[in-house]
Structure 1
Amino acid sequence: MVSLGDFIYIIGGQVCYKEKVHVNDDSAEFLDEGIKVVPNVLRYNIRTNQWFNCAPLGVARYDFACTVCDNKIYVACGKSKVASARGISSAELYDPDLDTWTTLPNLHILRYKCIGVTWKGKVYIVGGFAERENSDMTMPSIVERSSAEVLDTQARKWELITGMWQLDVPPNQIVAVNDTLFSSGDCLNAWKGHVEAYDGQFWNEVDGSRKRSLSTLEYNYENWPLNQRLYLTMAPIGNKLFFLAGYRVGDGEPARTTSVVHVFDTSATVDAWKSFEPMELEGERELCSHCCVVQLSSP
């Protein structure tokens, strides 16, 4: 999911189909009929509250990287089959004015669960479960998993960069704020206890960013009965990083979900963290994608 102008785009992914099955005269159940990887692209207009179908991806995919650069949407890598153990290396470019997808050159390395981010005017595809196409898969290499690839959007050519992520576990999210990249964890541990910034060579802990937990608010909410974390996603607005964390509350039924928003000011020297009041919802919620930010233009 990405935003562009007044629109939010939902791109590709997996769809789980359910079929209504008769149980008895008084009830019925819905059973999963399988999961399918789809190329579908939907566009939501924030102003008019309307959904539209867009041109589909050239390659159906999920767990792929996606970012916006120069008012174009770039997608790369991911998986094209549910049962596949390997990623793909293909990439595509979407032009919203023409409603068309254009095939880009393949990346050097097969990847999935990689991250797409636009940094200093260039498209970066970072990390992921990665391997070279001719790999025998017996020895997964940290060299591939910690690498990134950067696209020259004019020449449409990928350049391989080694060691940009520095871990063999894919990042959870990477976002850009004022030409600096920030991350808070990886796909196995979305919150490492602090925010890290990339200086062009290494990821370093940001001063004042250490926070014991994103599961609770400080002070009055310290003893909340929060259990399993359902999701954690991060979005940049201006100089600030907004963290939305969702937790299942209590052990009873029906399930309840509490969402908490924390804000970290990357430009602050003291008291950089701020927390908003929590919001409780009925049912157990989950995210289909990381969140995105929509900056509405003037009417």
Structure 2
Amino acid sequence: MVYLCASSGPPESDFACTVCNDKIYVAGGQPTSSNARGISSAEVYDPTLDEWSSLPSMSMLRYKCAGVTWNGKIHVVGGFAERLDSGWPSPGIMERSSAEVYDPETRRWELRAKMWQPDVRPTQILALDNGRLYGSGDCLKAWKGHIEAYNPDANMWNIVPGSQRTTRSSSAHPLNVADGTWPTIQPTYVTVAPTGTHLYFLVGYRTSGDLPRMMSMVHMFDTGTNTNYWTSFGLVEEDGEKEFCSHCCVVQLP
């Protein structure tokens, strides 16, 4: 069942969003006005009470950032960020690569430097049951050609072995991923959902030919194996062209 929940604070876009302990957390974003700067405010939604509550503000103005819950804390990563006391409207390199971490128990934010690449903003960062963070795309490429995992000890993102998948111009069938390739063209949309120790990539392709056709399928990557990392299934073909810009999520039914 889908129902309309209570409205949050001032309307905004490009904010970070994540779920922790059955509550929805949002932080940062841009107001709907012409002001191009981000905001530092944060809110939490309690579905049992159907109400939003204000949280302490972050230390930076931030928008087009990614939200993820990891180790029981809310992480707001990357994006366009600037210090509240900087006086400059342009975000710096250190700010863009930083993250802000919120602890629901202490109700405090902690600034974490250099947690992301400073040159591009993230799209999705996902946490799996193995306790690790994963990313596979950014604002320039929805699919980088590989999956990266975050190493908190080194504060670095490293390519996950066996995750490399490239595209090429050929007649390779999309289900044949054993040779390290994906379909013959770049995907028109890619979105990812985490379940257990698996990453599910929902991907749409535009097939070649005189008449346009869309081909949608699912690629699953298993982070808990040392062989046969990828499995593909759910192939659906449709006439015409479609463009999607969205994120998927995992819903656990009772």
Name the TM-score class by shorter chain: 0.7 to 0.9
Cα 1:92–1:236 change in 2 (3 A) is same
RMSD of Structure 2 on Structure 1 (CA): 2.5
Q: Match of 1:171?
A: 122
Q: Decide which of 58, 71, 74 is 2:22's aligned counterpart.
A: 71
Unaligned residue ranges in structure 2 (runs of 5+): none
1:189-237 superposed Cα distances (whole Å, 9 cap, x missing partner) = 12221111111011111111111239944269x79664x6321111111
1:207 aligned residue: 161
Counterparts of 1:243 and 1:194, CA distance in 2: 12
Deviations along 1:12-71, whole A, 9 cap, x unmatched?
Answer: xxxxxxxxxxxxxxxxxxxxxxxxxxxxxxxxx2xxxxx321101112111111111011
Q: Give the gaps of 5 or more residues in structure 1.
A: 1-44, 46-50
Contact 2:94 2:118 survives alignment (8 Å): no
Higher relative contact order (CA 8 A, sep 6+): 1
| Letter aligned with residue 234 of structure 1 | V
- Structure-2 residue corresponding to 1:149: 100
1:278 counterpart residue number: 235
Equivalent residue, structure 1, for 2:134: 182
3-state SS of 1:144 partner: helix
Q: Give 1:116's aligned residue.
A: 67
Match of 2:187 in 1: 229
The count of corresponding residues between Structure 1 and Structure 2 is 245
Aligned partner of 1:30 in structure 2 is none
* Mapped partners of 2:41, 2:156: distance in 1: 28
3-state SS in 1 of match to 2:94: helix
The structure in which a higher percent of residues are strand is 1
In the TM superposition, what whole-angstrom CA distance separates every residue of 1:65-98 from its partner, at most 9, and x where no partner exists?
A: 1111011110011111264322211110000000
CA contact (8 A) 1:129 1:169 kept: no
Q: Which residue of 2 aligns with 1:292?
A: 249
Partner of 1:241: 199
Larger radius of gyration: 1
Q: 1:244 is paired with a residue of what secondary structure? A: strand
Contact 1:176–1:236 (CA under 8 A) maintained in structure 2: yes
Are the counterparts in 1 of residues 216 and 237 from structure 2 also a CA contact under 8 Å? yes
**Separation in 2, partners of 1:136, 1:223:** 43
Distance 1:225 1:146, change over 3 A: closer
Measured after TM superposition, the shift of residue 113 of structure 1 is: 1.3
Identity between Structure 1 and Structure 2 (%) = 53
Distance change (3 Å), C-alpha of 1:288 and 1:82: farther
